[in-house]
Amino acid sequence: MKYAIRTLIVIAVLIIGFILFLESGIYNISAMVPHNKLTLWVISTLKNNSIEHRSKDIKVPNNLNDSTLVKIGFSHYNEMCVGCHGAPGIPSNEIGKGLYPHPPNLAHSAKEMPASELFWITKNGIKMTGMPAFGKTHSDDNIWAIVAFMEKLPTMTKEQYSALQKANKNKVDEMTN
Ligand code: HEC
Protein backbone atom coordinates (compact mmCIF):
# COMPACT_ATOMS: atom_id res chain seq x y z
CA MET A 1 0.00 0.00 0.00
CA LYS A 2 2.78 2.40 1.07
CA TYR A 3 4.66 1.51 -2.10
CA ALA A 4 1.60 2.26 -4.27
CA ILE A 5 1.13 5.69 -2.64
CA ARG A 6 4.82 6.55 -3.20
CA THR A 7 4.55 5.54 -6.84
CA LEU A 8 1.45 7.72 -7.26
CA ILE A 9 3.24 10.70 -5.68
CA VAL A 10 6.23 10.26 -8.03
CA ILE A 11 3.89 10.09 -11.08
CA ALA A 12 1.97 13.19 -9.89
CA VAL A 13 5.25 15.13 -9.41
CA LEU A 14 6.43 14.10 -12.89
CA ILE A 15 3.13 15.17 -14.50
CA ILE A 16 3.10 18.52 -12.65
CA GLY A 17 6.78 19.07 -13.50
CA PHE A 18 6.07 18.36 -17.18
CA ILE A 19 3.10 20.76 -17.22
CA LEU A 20 5.22 23.46 -15.52
CA PHE A 21 7.93 22.89 -18.15
CA LEU A 22 5.36 23.26 -20.98
CA GLU A 23 3.93 26.42 -19.42
CA SER A 24 7.33 28.01 -18.66
CA GLY A 25 8.36 28.77 -22.26
CA ILE A 26 11.87 27.43 -21.54
CA TYR A 27 11.86 25.18 -24.64
CA ASN A 28 13.10 27.12 -27.67
CA ILE A 29 10.58 26.63 -30.53
CA SER A 30 12.71 28.75 -32.94
CA ALA A 31 13.37 27.07 -36.29
CA MET A 32 16.91 28.53 -36.12
CA VAL A 33 17.90 26.25 -33.23
CA PRO A 34 17.95 22.44 -33.64
CA HIS A 35 15.96 20.22 -31.24
CA ASN A 36 17.86 18.55 -28.40
CA LYS A 37 18.74 14.86 -28.78
CA LEU A 38 15.82 13.56 -26.70
CA THR A 39 13.18 15.54 -28.65
CA LEU A 40 14.82 14.50 -31.93
CA TRP A 41 14.72 10.85 -30.89
CA VAL A 42 11.04 11.05 -29.85
CA ILE A 43 10.00 12.80 -33.09
CA SER A 44 12.02 10.59 -35.43
CA THR A 45 10.91 7.35 -33.72
CA LEU A 46 7.26 8.46 -33.87
CA LYS A 47 7.57 9.58 -37.51
CA ASN A 48 9.54 6.57 -38.85
CA ASN A 49 7.25 4.01 -37.21
CA SER A 50 4.09 5.85 -38.28
CA ILE A 51 5.23 6.01 -41.92
CA GLU A 52 6.35 2.37 -41.95
CA HIS A 53 3.14 1.12 -40.33
CA ARG A 54 0.79 3.16 -42.52
CA SER A 55 2.48 2.46 -45.85
CA LYS A 56 3.09 -1.26 -45.47
CA ASP A 57 -0.12 -2.37 -47.25
CA ILE A 58 0.13 0.06 -50.18
CA LYS A 59 0.33 -1.79 -53.50
CA VAL A 60 3.00 -0.30 -55.77
CA PRO A 61 1.93 -0.14 -59.46
CA ASN A 62 4.29 -1.96 -61.82
CA ASN A 63 4.51 0.85 -64.42
CA LEU A 64 6.78 3.23 -62.49
CA ASN A 65 9.44 2.95 -65.21
CA ASP A 66 7.04 4.21 -67.88
CA SER A 67 8.65 7.28 -69.49
CA THR A 68 5.35 9.16 -70.00
CA LEU A 69 4.54 8.70 -66.31
CA VAL A 70 8.02 9.93 -65.34
CA LYS A 71 7.52 13.07 -67.47
CA ILE A 72 4.13 13.80 -65.86
CA GLY A 73 5.80 13.34 -62.47
CA PHE A 74 8.59 15.71 -63.47
CA SER A 75 6.18 18.54 -64.34
CA HIS A 76 4.51 18.24 -60.91
CA TYR A 77 7.88 17.99 -59.16
CA ASN A 78 9.29 20.99 -60.99
CA GLU A 79 6.23 23.04 -60.07
CA MET A 80 5.65 21.99 -56.47
CA CYS A 81 8.65 20.28 -54.87
CA VAL A 82 11.83 21.81 -56.27
CA GLY A 83 11.51 25.03 -54.21
CA CYS A 84 11.86 23.18 -50.92
CA HIS A 85 13.75 20.02 -51.93
CA GLY A 86 15.91 21.29 -54.80
CA ALA A 87 16.88 19.09 -57.76
CA PRO A 88 20.09 18.11 -59.59
CA GLY A 89 21.93 21.43 -60.10
CA ILE A 90 19.21 23.44 -58.28
CA PRO A 91 19.49 24.37 -54.59
CA SER A 92 16.38 24.86 -52.45
CA ASN A 93 14.93 28.41 -52.31
CA GLU A 94 14.66 30.78 -49.31
CA ILE A 95 11.63 28.94 -47.91
CA GLY A 96 13.38 25.57 -48.16
CA LYS A 97 16.55 26.97 -46.59
CA GLY A 98 14.63 28.41 -43.63
CA LEU A 99 12.65 25.29 -42.79
CA TYR A 100 13.47 23.12 -39.78
CA PRO A 101 13.62 20.18 -40.23
CA HIS A 102 15.41 20.93 -43.47
CA PRO A 103 13.70 19.37 -46.53
CA PRO A 104 16.01 16.46 -47.44
CA ASN A 105 17.60 15.79 -50.80
CA LEU A 106 15.04 13.43 -52.37
CA ALA A 107 17.67 11.65 -54.48
CA HIS A 108 18.98 10.13 -51.20
CA SER A 109 15.45 9.46 -49.91
CA ALA A 110 14.44 7.68 -53.13
CA LYS A 111 17.51 5.44 -52.84
CA GLU A 112 16.73 4.49 -49.25
CA MET A 113 12.91 4.43 -49.11
CA PRO A 114 10.50 1.99 -50.73
CA ALA A 115 8.11 3.51 -53.32
CA SER A 116 5.17 2.84 -50.97
CA GLU A 117 6.70 5.20 -48.35
CA LEU A 118 7.49 7.91 -50.92
CA PHE A 119 3.85 7.68 -52.02
CA TRP A 120 2.44 7.80 -48.49
CA ILE A 121 4.54 10.82 -47.49
CA THR A 122 3.74 12.76 -50.70
CA LYS A 123 0.03 12.04 -50.28
CA ASN A 124 -0.26 12.64 -46.52
CA GLY A 125 2.50 15.11 -45.70
CA ILE A 126 4.19 15.13 -42.27
CA LYS A 127 2.74 17.07 -39.36
CA MET A 128 4.75 19.99 -37.93
CA THR A 129 7.54 19.83 -40.50
CA GLY A 130 6.44 21.99 -43.45
CA MET A 131 5.99 18.90 -45.67
CA PRO A 132 2.53 19.48 -47.25
CA ALA A 133 -0.10 16.79 -47.97
CA PHE A 134 -0.60 16.65 -51.74
CA GLY A 135 -3.46 14.14 -51.37
CA LYS A 136 -5.84 17.05 -50.78
CA THR A 137 -5.22 18.41 -54.28
CA HIS A 138 -3.87 15.49 -56.34
CA SER A 139 -5.21 12.12 -57.46
CA ASP A 140 -3.38 8.92 -56.52
CA ASP A 141 -2.41 8.53 -60.21
CA ASN A 142 -0.64 11.89 -60.21
CA ILE A 143 1.08 11.11 -56.92
CA TRP A 144 2.35 7.79 -58.35
CA ALA A 145 3.69 9.78 -61.34
CA ILE A 146 5.63 11.99 -58.87
CA VAL A 147 6.96 8.83 -57.17
CA ALA A 148 7.99 7.46 -60.60
CA PHE A 149 9.94 10.68 -61.16
CA MET A 150 11.54 10.61 -57.68
CA GLU A 151 12.80 7.07 -58.37
CA LYS A 152 14.79 8.52 -61.30
CA LEU A 153 16.38 11.28 -59.18
CA PRO A 154 19.31 9.24 -57.77
CA THR A 155 20.83 8.74 -61.24
CA MET A 156 19.77 12.05 -62.80
CA THR A 157 22.41 14.64 -63.79
CA LYS A 158 21.83 18.40 -63.71
CA GLU A 159 22.03 18.41 -67.54
CA GLN A 160 19.20 15.86 -67.73
CA TYR A 161 17.09 17.87 -65.28
CA SER A 162 17.58 21.10 -67.19
CA ALA A 163 16.77 19.30 -70.51
CA LEU A 164 13.45 18.17 -68.95
CA GLN A 165 12.78 21.77 -67.85
CA LYS A 166 13.40 23.04 -71.40
CA ALA A 167 11.16 20.37 -72.97
CA ASN A 168 8.45 21.16 -70.43
CA LYS A 169 8.69 24.91 -71.11
CA ASN A 170 8.43 24.37 -74.88
CA LYS A 171 5.33 22.23 -74.34
CA VAL A 172 3.71 24.92 -72.17
CA ASP A 173 4.66 27.64 -74.71
CA GLU A 174 3.08 25.56 -77.51
CA MET A 175 -0.10 25.15 -75.50
CA THR A 176 -0.39 28.86 -74.65
CA ASN A 177 0.52 30.26 -78.09
C1 HEC B 1 7.15 23.85 -48.16
C2 HEC B 1 8.26 22.95 -48.31
C3 HEC B 1 8.05 21.59 -48.94
C4 HEC B 1 7.47 21.33 -50.15
C5 HEC B 1 6.86 22.31 -51.14
C6 HEC B 1 7.61 19.89 -50.33
N7 HEC B 1 8.23 19.32 -49.25
FE8 HEC B 1 8.66 17.34 -49.01
N9 HEC B 1 9.45 17.72 -47.16
C10 HEC B 1 9.56 18.98 -46.61
C11 HEC B 1 10.20 18.86 -45.31
C12 HEC B 1 10.50 19.99 -44.35
C13 HEC B 1 10.48 17.49 -45.13
C14 HEC B 1 11.21 16.85 -43.95
C15 HEC B 1 10.25 16.28 -42.96
C16 HEC B 1 10.97 15.57 -41.84
O17 HEC B 1 12.19 15.66 -41.68
O18 HEC B 1 10.27 14.90 -41.10
C19 HEC B 1 9.99 16.81 -46.32
C20 HEC B 1 10.09 15.43 -46.50
C21 HEC B 1 9.72 14.78 -47.68
C22 HEC B 1 9.91 13.37 -47.92
C23 HEC B 1 10.54 12.37 -46.94
C24 HEC B 1 12.01 12.29 -47.26
C25 HEC B 1 12.87 11.64 -46.20
O26 HEC B 1 14.02 11.26 -46.54
O27 HEC B 1 12.43 11.52 -45.06
C28 HEC B 1 9.44 13.11 -49.19
C29 HEC B 1 9.43 11.77 -49.91
C30 HEC B 1 8.95 14.37 -49.72
N31 HEC B 1 9.15 15.37 -48.77
C32 HEC B 1 8.42 14.52 -50.97
C33 HEC B 1 7.95 15.74 -51.48
C34 HEC B 1 7.37 15.87 -52.80
C35 HEC B 1 7.23 14.75 -53.81
C36 HEC B 1 6.98 17.18 -52.93
C37 HEC B 1 6.26 17.84 -54.08
C38 HEC B 1 5.09 17.14 -54.59
C39 HEC B 1 7.38 17.87 -51.69
N40 HEC B 1 7.96 16.96 -50.85
C41 HEC B 1 7.18 19.22 -51.45
C42 HEC B 1 9.14 20.18 -47.16
C43 HEC B 1 8.52 20.33 -48.38
What would the pLDDT profile of 21-55 be if each residue is shown by its tens digit?
999 999 999 999 999 999 999 999 999 999 999 99
Give percent of the chain with pLDDT exceeding 90. 93
Q: Is 131 in the pocket of ligand 1 (CB under 6 A)?
A: yes
Residue 20 makes CB contacts below 8 A (sequence gap 6+) with: none
Distance CA 133, CA 157 (A): 28
Is the C-beta atom of 50 inside 6 A of ligand 1? no
pLDDT tens profile 92-150 = 999 999 999 999 999 999 999 999 999 999 999 999 999 999 999 999 999 999 999 99
In the chain the first and final C-alpha atoms are separated, in Å, by 84
The answer to whether the CB of 74 is under 6 A from ligand 1 is no
According to the model, what pLDDT value does residue 59 have?
97
Cis peptide before 101 (omega within 30 of 0): yes
Does residue 43 have its Cβ closer than 6 Å to ligand 1?
Answer: no
Instruction: Choose one of 40, 44, 85 to mutate for the ligand 1 pocket test, by most ligand atoms within 8 angstroms of C-beta.
Output: 85
Nearest ligand 1 atom to the CA of 47 is: 18
